[in-house]
Amino acid sequence: MIDIEKIEHLAALELKEGEKEKIQKDIEEIIHYFEILKEVDTNGIEPYIYMKGAHLFLRKDQVKKGLDREDLKKNRILSQNKFYKVKRIMGE
Amino acid sequence: MSEYKPTIGLEIHVQLATKTKIFCSCSTEFGDEPNTNVCPVCLGLPGALPVLNEKVVEYAVRLGSALNMTINKVSTFYRKNYFYPDLPKGYQITQYAIPIASEGFLEIKTKKGKRKIRIQRGHIEEDAGKSIHTGDITESQYSYIDFNRSGVPLMEIVTYPDIETAEEAYEFLVLLRKTVRYLGVSSGDMEKGALRCDVNVSVSKNDKIGTKVEIKNLNSFKSVRRAVEYEVKRQIDVLENGGSVVQETRHLNEKTGETVAMRTKEELNDYRYFPEPDLPPLILTDEFIEKIKKELPELPLQKEERFIKEYGIKEDYAHDIASSIELANYFEAVCRATKKPKEVANFLMTNIMKYLNKTGKQITEISFNEKKFAEFLSLIDNGTISKNIAKEVIDQSLETGKSPKEIVKERGLVQITDEDAIKEIVLEVLKENPKPVSQYLSGKTQTIGFLIGQVMKKTKGKANPQIVNKLLRNALMKMKK
């Protein structure tokens, strides 16, 4: 059984009463697939996390100009001219 | 009442002093206009991909090596998931399963002697943005976010709970800051957020470690000490009154010096770490690691010990000089030029330090270089100026930027060693002070100090004190007969 309330909290969602049961059922079904996969014996097999042969690129430490603040403003990404405006973060 | 033993561990975020952010080419400059150093990567815009900064890797390996840690040839990146407005992607890229460095130690000096504080891990990660609140935090309807800091590289250093007192926690932090500055991997400026510290504290009467309380976001050395002191006392009080310590996160109230519990609602710590699919493992070669290890500079404690041994200077002078790499470099440059380490240390820690404190200047900004220092010391050595006058000369030279010789010439500070000239003044002083003279003659010989003082006063401190002493005694001797 999954704890739908916990998932709701972690995903920062507010579910309505009817949605809760439906989503709970959906997630449980999804997780059930993993139960099926568990039947495969993976002993001694290294977890496959990254693409085979994938290679980490490193960047030189050289400054490049990013996005222009005027453009951010134009696209309404920025408010108050300088800052991103968000709902008040609760203090301690 | 048996003794409670505090157990303290630190988690320290060190901002690495790169020019650009950890996963994008935006500048890390402190104090720029809000949201001017941002791009799709550090704003978490859809589709943007992180590319690791090679300098971050170099600095992390350097710091890890200096902290005697094992550098892991393979380390992996993870996503740490949580929602907060200053974290635009909804996750922080950090290292989890295998950090870049693990298992090391830093040896600190305490009143009880040297102590090894073990370090568990050091991992690289990105910083979050900065939230700004206008007006009263409880009244303002909005918070404002500046993402210039989002993506700034950090190395998090996690110690084992080997620390037992607030003093040790303080010493550890101070030494860590000196170390990062020596290495040039971080500014270590706490007030600019380049060094931030979380503290874990528990107390126990026996070997079983007590319930741990975390105090977050301490942003000065003083706060760390205060928070630990307060928290240890608080926990002992709770236990002594039959209560039990609650595992929680607390904050230090800077005004009262008390720690206060944070709201517990957001406390649900479930970060659901999973491997970052956009960044394959970081693989380092032996050559790369060895090269960095070989290039490590001498570290603060080594330098301090060498100063005592090599130059024979006092332990506390060695400690203070080695506390800053610039000061240490200056000291050694002057020692090379003068071959007089004790005198150099003396004047450096008195007159020069006083001048630096007064003006707020750095040692690298003063014009009193090794050449002037050498000239200055030779003026004392060859008897041109007395030790007393020397202080005036060095102060004036620091103040005006003129050379010591110029100062001496301008102000007529040359020491009077001409015995005839001094003798004349001695006789004058004896005539003007019949009372101390008769006191001396009747056996109260300590009045000679007063008489010497009078001669020095008349010569404005320029008379050679040994000669004054000798001539005074001679003259008084004659009067006795």
What are B148's two structure tokens? 């210039």
**Please, which pLDDT band fits residue B265 given cuts at 50, 70 and 90?**
very low
Interface contact flag, B280 A87, Cβ < 8 Å: no
Q: What CA–CA distance (Å, rounded) separates B26 from B126?
A: 13
pLDDT in tens, B74-111: 999 999 998 888 999 999 999 999 999 999 999 998 88
Is 90 exceeded by the pLDDT of residue A85? Answer: no
Q: What CA–CA distance (Å, rounded) separates B152 from B147?
A: 10
Rounded to the nearest 5°, which phi and psi values hold at B120? -80, -50
Q: Is residue B56 part of a domain?
A: yes
Q: Residue B8, class by beta-carbon neighbours within 10 Å (0-12 exposed, 13-18 middle, 19+ buried)? A: buried
Which three-class secondary structure state does DSSP give residue B119?
strand
Separation in Å, CA of A61 to nearest CA in chain B: 6
Q: Is residue B25 part of a domain?
A: yes
pLDDT in tens, B199-243: 999 999 888 888 889 998 888 888 999 999 999 999 999 998 888
Choosing from B259, B290, B321, the residue where a domain stops is: B290
Is 90 exceeded by the pLDDT of residue B9? Answer: yes
Q: What CA–CA distance (Å, rounded) separates A2 from A26?
A: 11
Are B345 and B397 part of one and the same domain? yes
Q: A68 to chain B: nearest residue by CA?
A: B36
| The predicted structure's pLDDT at residue B140 | 67
| The predicted structure's pLDDT at residue B7 | 93
Are B227 and B88 part of one and the same domain? yes
Are B275 and B335 part of one and the same domain? no
- Number of domains within chain B: 3
Q: B260 to chain A: nearest residue by CA?
A: A92
Residue ranges making up the domain that contains B191: 5-290
- Beta-bridge partner residues of B198: B11
Question: Mean pLDDT throughout B2-6?
Answer: 84
Round the average pLDDT of chain B to a whole number and report it: 89
Question: Mean pLDDT throughout B1-10?
Answer: 85
| The predicted structure's pLDDT at residue B122 | 97
- Beta-bridge partner residues of B204: B5
| The predicted structure's pLDDT at residue A92 | 39
Residue % of chain A over a pLDDT of 90: 27
Q: What CA–CA distance (Å, rounded) separates B344 from B354?
A: 14
Interface contact flag, A72 B85, Cβ < 8 Å: no
| ipTM for the assembly | 0.86
Question: Mean pLDDT throughout B365-369?
Answer: 89
Residue B97 Cα to chain centre, angstroms? 32
Is 70 exceeded by the pLDDT of residue B398? Answer: yes
Is 80 exceeded by the pLDDT of residue B357? Answer: yes
Are B227 and B370 part of one and the same domain? no
State the DSSP string of B267-293.
Answer: G------EE-TTSPPEE--HHHHHHHH
DSSP label of B199: E
**Residues 6+ away with beta carbon under 8 Å from B408:** B379, B384, B385, B393, B414
Interface contact flag, A72 B38, Cβ < 8 Å: yes
SS (H, E, C) B142-196: EEEEEHHHCCCEEEEEEECCCECCHHHHHHHHHHHHHHHHHHCCCCCCHHHCCEE
Q: What CA–CA distance (Å, rounded) separates A57 from B278?
A: 11
| The predicted structure's pLDDT at residue B136 | 57
What's the one-letter identity of residue B400?
Answer: T
Are B190 and B229 part of one and the same domain? yes
Are B309 and B163 part of one and the same domain? no
Q: In what order do the strands lie in the sheet with B274-275?
A: B91-95, B77-81, B274-275
- First CA to last CA distance, chain A: 34
Are B148 and B216 part of one and the same domain? yes
Is 60 exceeded by the pLDDT of residue B312? Answer: yes
Cβ–Cβ pairs < 8 A, chains A and B? 126
pLDDT in tens, B152-181: 999 999 999 999 999 999 999 999 999 999
pLDDT in tens, B462-474: 788 888 888 888 8
Q: CB–CB of B174/B11 below 8 Å?
A: no
Is 70 exceeded by the pLDDT of residue B294? Answer: yes
Q: Residue B431 to residues B20, B349, B451, B459: CA-CA distances in angstroms? A: 77, 42, 11, 16
> Is A82's Cβ below 8 Å from some Cβ in B?
yes
What are B29's two structure tokens? 């400059």
Are B218 and B308 part of one and the same domain? no
Q: Is residue B295 part of a domain?
A: no
Tell me chain A's radius of gyration from C-alpha atoms. 23
| The predicted structure's pLDDT at residue B132 | 81
Q: CB–CB of B409/B403 below 8 Å?
A: no
Q: What CA–CA distance (Å, rounded) separates B453 from B360?
A: 35
Residue % of chain B over a pLDDT of 90: 53
| The predicted structure's pLDDT at residue B111 | 83
**Please, which pLDDT band fits residue B392 given cuts at 50, 70 and 90?**
confident
Q: A73 to chain B: nearest residue by CA?
A: B35
Q: Is residue B243 part of a domain?
A: yes
**What CATH number does residue B433 fall under?**
1.10.10.410
With beta carbons under 8 A apart, name residues in chain B contacting A6.
Answer: 268, 270
Of B138, B141, B146, the CB nearest to A91: B138
Q: Picking from A51-60, B111-120, B201-210, B416-425, which range would have the lowest pLDDT averaged per residue?
A: B416-425
Q: What CA–CA distance (Å, rounded) separates B327 from B329?
A: 5
Q: Picking from A76-85, B153-162, B412-421, which range would have the lowest pLDDT averaged per residue?
A: A76-85
What are B35's two structure tokens? 């949201």
| The predicted structure's pLDDT at residue B113 | 86
Interface contact flag, A64 B26, Cβ < 8 Å: yes
Q: CB–CB of B68/B302 below 8 Å?
A: no
Residue B327 Cα to chain centre, angstroms? 11
| The predicted structure's pLDDT at residue B264 | 55
**Please, which pLDDT band fits residue A81 given cuts at 50, 70 and 90?**
low
Are B235 and B133 part of one and the same domain? yes
CA angle in degrees (0–180, nearest 5) for B211-B215-B219 = 160
Question: Mean pLDDT throughout A19-32?
Answer: 91
| The predicted structure's pLDDT at residue B224 | 92
Q: What CA–CA distance (Å, rounded) separates A78 from A72?
A: 6
Choosing from B290, B314, B337, the residue where a domain stops is: B290
- Helix segments in B31-92, DSSP class H: 54-66
Among all chains, which residue has been given the structure tokens 């000669």? B467
Interface contact flag, B262 A89, Cβ < 8 Å: no
SS (H, E, C) chain A: CCCHHHHHHHCCCCCCHHHHHHHHHHHHHHHHHHHHHCCCCCCCCCCCCCCCCCCCCEECCCCCCCCCHHHHHHCCCCECCCEEEEECCCCC
Q: Is residue B101 part of a domain?
A: yes
Q: Picking from B146-155, B208-217, B339-348, which range would have the lowest pLDDT averaged per residue?
A: B208-217
Residue among B97, B54, B281 nearest A51 (CA): B281
Are B250 and B196 part of one and the same domain? yes
Q: What CA–CA distance (Å, rounded) separates B258 from B468?
A: 61
Q: Is residue B212 part of a domain?
A: yes
Are B184 and B252 part of one and the same domain? yes
Question: Mean pLDDT throughout B328-350?
Answer: 92
Question: Mean pLDDT throughout A41-57?
Answer: 85
Separation in Å, CA of A22 to nearest CA in chain B: 23
Phi-psi region of B184 (alpha: psi -120 to 50; beta: other; left: phi over 0): left
Is 70 exceeded by the pLDDT of residue B442? Answer: yes
Question: Mean pLDDT throughout B385-407?
Answer: 86
Q: What CA–CA distance (Å, rounded) separates B44 from B50?
A: 10
Are B456 and B310 part of one and the same domain? no
What are B326's two structure tokens? 């610039």
